[in-house]
């Protein structure tokens, strides 16, 4: 007898339907899994066998063939366990196969028949919204991911036995639903705040400018000066997430298996801080079956790279494309996958190998050659893609001992949101023009938009000319200065970029002198 049951697989960030066909015939007892199944799926034979027997059903002493269609796509993970078990029970007549036709099934089975959570449920739920079958049976731990999609009905259950009882009489239960807009309003809070940062007024101003325009930033200073402390608070001054942004972030983390939020949904800007020993695949994404890397997990948030020169050079150079295009293309023999990677890069490094180059108290023992070699671990083209370079000196005792709280993140965020509102209005006409990529902030402007929107006063033009001549900046660095100047003028509420705006932007290119 043959049974058919529906489930979903993952390919990158996209889900696709999988039809699971089960054929039980006379012959030597065996279980054959076909349809490009990986090792985790092939091991499901033993999990399914034990789950069926320990749930009070019979395991057939016959030849079982399970086909996962389409057979030309590699399938991975344990999310098909529940569907395979139900397919076998239906093919052996232990349950009515007609009960299965209006449902899709997801879930890993334990040996005693309990359902365990799987990854990628939000991506699967979003895809299901476009299909005729709208009912999804899944583990209880994944309920909130599926419950936020209004077009589908999520049925969270605990075990294989409970699933079969539900299919026999579904009217006894109600589908799980979650109000997403309410979650966004009630649960947005950060444990950190800029009011805890003493001193560092110049660095905080530079970070405000960076966030206002979506600019990348590097912090250079001795150990203990507060670089990491400042970077960790960047998400607290970023604009609140829109519904679409929250969905996209949650989808990425769900697929990657890093969704740990108890609400099953991410409502705050992500902050990712990988160790400098990370591989290029873990940073940008990839693998035999590609998964999102740290740059995609930082989508719409902050990617913080501490001790930047210590990172693998190959991994750093791989950042060039996502910093320019806000996405990463990963090519494999069976196709190319695209992962989103729109983030603010915040990096930190010491000014020299010993870290004391800027310190007025501790002597620096590094000669110019050592300093040049240390900074030379990061290529010029990568530094060119970082808009703002600032020095972060040691905080003085007078500032550390001050009992007054500094300006809170909420006040800074209000100014940031005002500047972003100006930019959204500025680029609204461009975004209505049918472009593939929407421009949301100054950092994303290309050549034509820079020429159109970065209008300089005569004094500002002269100042830019002098800076380019003396510092020997590249054409990309020139564009960065104009973009940052545009952001500073937005914060000041000025339509025209003035000399003081350009002067401040030039101050944020402190590494250019050392690299040239």
Label residue 392 by pLDDT band (50, 70, 90): very high
- When the candidates are 3.30.1280.10, 3.30.470.20, 3.40.50.300, 3.30.420.40, the CATH number that belongs to 194-444 is 3.40.50.300
Percent of the chain with pLDDT over 70: 96
- Of 22-31, 294-303, 335-344, 353-362, give the lowest mean pLDDT range: 353-362
Topology agreement, domain 2-178 and domain 194-444? no
Q: Strand, coil or helix: what is 150?
A: coil
Report the candidate in 166, 169, 63, 187 with the shortest Cα–Cα distance to residue 115: 166
Report the candidate in 228, 255, 335 with the shortest Cα–Cα distance to residue 8: 255
Write the CB contacts of 178 (distance below 8 Å, at least 6 apart in sequence).
Answer: 144, 147, 148, 264, 265
Q: How far apart are CA 198 and CA 113, in angstroms?
A: 55
Per the omega criterion (within 30 degrees of 0), is the bond before 64 cis?
Answer: no
327-332 and 103-105 beta bridge pairing: unpaired
Mean pLDDT of 410-415: 96
pTM of the model: 0.91
Label residue 470 by pLDDT band (50, 70, 90): confident
Check residue 373 and give its pLDDT.
87
Conformation bin of residue 307: beta by default, left when phi > 0, alpha when psi is -120 to 50: left
The DSSP H or E segment spanning 22 is strand 14-25
Check residue 214 and give its pLDDT.
95
Q: How far apart are CA 490 and CA 488, in angstroms?
A: 5
2-11 and 14-25 beta bridge pairing: antiparallel
Check residue 437 and give its pLDDT.
61
Check residue 358 and give its pLDDT.
73
Helix %, strand %, coil % for the chain, to 5? 45, 20, 40
SS3 of 67-94: the string is: EEECCCCCECCCCCHHHHHHHHHHHCCC
pLDDT above 80 for 182:
no
Mean of all residue pLDDT scores within the chain: 90
Check residue 181 and give its pLDDT.
73
Residue range 42-84, pLDDT digits in tens: 899 999 999 999 999 999 999 999 999 998 888 988 999 999 9
User: Are residues 140 and 156 in contact, defined by beta-carbon separation less than 8 angstroms?
Assistant: yes
Check residue 416 and give its pLDDT.
97
User: Are residues 13 and 122 in contact, defined by beta-carbon separation less than 8 angstroms?
Assistant: no
Q: How far apart are CA 226 and CA 219, in angstroms?
A: 10
Q: How far apart are CA 248 and CA 213, in angstroms?
A: 21
- Specify whether domain 2-178 bears CATH 3.40.50.1100: no
Q: Which residue has the higher pLDDT, 373 or 430?
A: 373
pLDDT above 80 for 39:
yes
The structural domains of the chain, with segments of one domain joined by +, span 2-178, 194-444
Q: How far apart are CA 250 and CA 300, in angstroms?
A: 11
Mean pLDDT of 162-176: 94
Label residue 513 by pLDDT band (50, 70, 90): low
pLDDT above 90 for 423:
yes
Check residue 514 and give its pLDDT.
55
């Amino acid at each position: 007898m043959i049974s058919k049951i529906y489930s979903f697989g993952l390919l990158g960030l996209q889900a696709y339907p999988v039809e699971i066909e089960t054929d039980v015939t006379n012959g030597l007892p065996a279980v054959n899994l076909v349809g490009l199944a990986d090792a985790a799926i092939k091991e499901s034979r033993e999990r399914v066998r034990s789950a069926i027997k320990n749930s009070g059903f019979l395991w057939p002493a016959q030849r079982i063939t399970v086909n996962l269609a389409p057979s030309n796509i590699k399938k991975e993970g344990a999310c098909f366990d529940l569907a395979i078990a139900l397919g076998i029970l239906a093919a052996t007549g232990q349950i009515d196969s007609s009960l299965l036709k209006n449902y899709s099934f997801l879930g890993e089975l334990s040996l005693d028949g309990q359902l365990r959570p799987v990854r990628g449920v939000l991506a699967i739920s979003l895809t299901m919204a476009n299909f005729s079958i709208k009912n999804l049976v899944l583990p209880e731990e994944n309920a909130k991911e599926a419950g936020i999609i209004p077009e589908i009905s999520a049925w969270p259950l605990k075990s294989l036995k409970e699933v079969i009882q539900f299919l026999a009489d579904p009217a006894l239960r109600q589908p799980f639903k979650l109000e997403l807009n309410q979650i966004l309003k009630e649960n947005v809070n950060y444990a950190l705040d800029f009011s805890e940062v003493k001193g560092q007024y110049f660095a905080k101003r530079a970070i405000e400018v960076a966030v206002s325009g979506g600019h990348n930033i590097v912090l250079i200073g001795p150990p203990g000066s507060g670089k990491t402390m400042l970077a960790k608070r960047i998400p607290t001054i970023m604009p609140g997430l829109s519904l679409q942004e929250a969905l996209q972030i949650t989808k990425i983390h769900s697929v990657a298996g890093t969704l740990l939020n108890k609400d099953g949904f991410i409502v705050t800007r992500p902050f990712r801080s990988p160790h400098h020993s990370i591989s290029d695949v873990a940073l940008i994404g990839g693998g035999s079956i590609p998964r999102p890397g740290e740059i995609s997990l930082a989508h719409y948030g902050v990617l913080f790279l501490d001790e930047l020169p210590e990172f693998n050079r190959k991994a750093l150079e791989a950042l060039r494309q996502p910093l320019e295009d806000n996405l990463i293309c990963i090519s494999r023999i069976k196709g190319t996958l695209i992962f989103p990677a729109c983030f603010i890069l915040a990096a930190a490094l010491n000014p020299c190998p010993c870290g004391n180059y800027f310190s007025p108290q501790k002597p620096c023992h590094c000669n110019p050659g050592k300093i040049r070699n240390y900074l030379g671990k990061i290529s010029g083209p990568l530094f060119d893609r970082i808009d703002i370079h600032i020095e972060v000196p040691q905080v003085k005792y007078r500032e550390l001992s001050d009992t007054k709280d500094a300006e809170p993140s909420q006040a800074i965020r209000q100014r940031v949101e005002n500047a972003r509102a100006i930019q959204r209005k500025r680029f609204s006409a461009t975004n209505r023009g049918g472009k593939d990529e929407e421009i949301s902030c100054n950092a994303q402007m290309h050549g034509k938009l820079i020429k159109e929107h970065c209008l300089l006063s005569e004094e500002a033009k002269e100042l830019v000319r002098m800076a380019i001549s003396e510092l020997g900046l590249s054409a990309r660095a020139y564009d960065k200065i104009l973009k940052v100047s545009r952001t500073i003028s937005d914060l000041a509420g000025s339509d025209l970029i003035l000399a003081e705006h350009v002067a401040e932007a030039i101050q944020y290119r402190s590494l250019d002198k050392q690299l040239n």
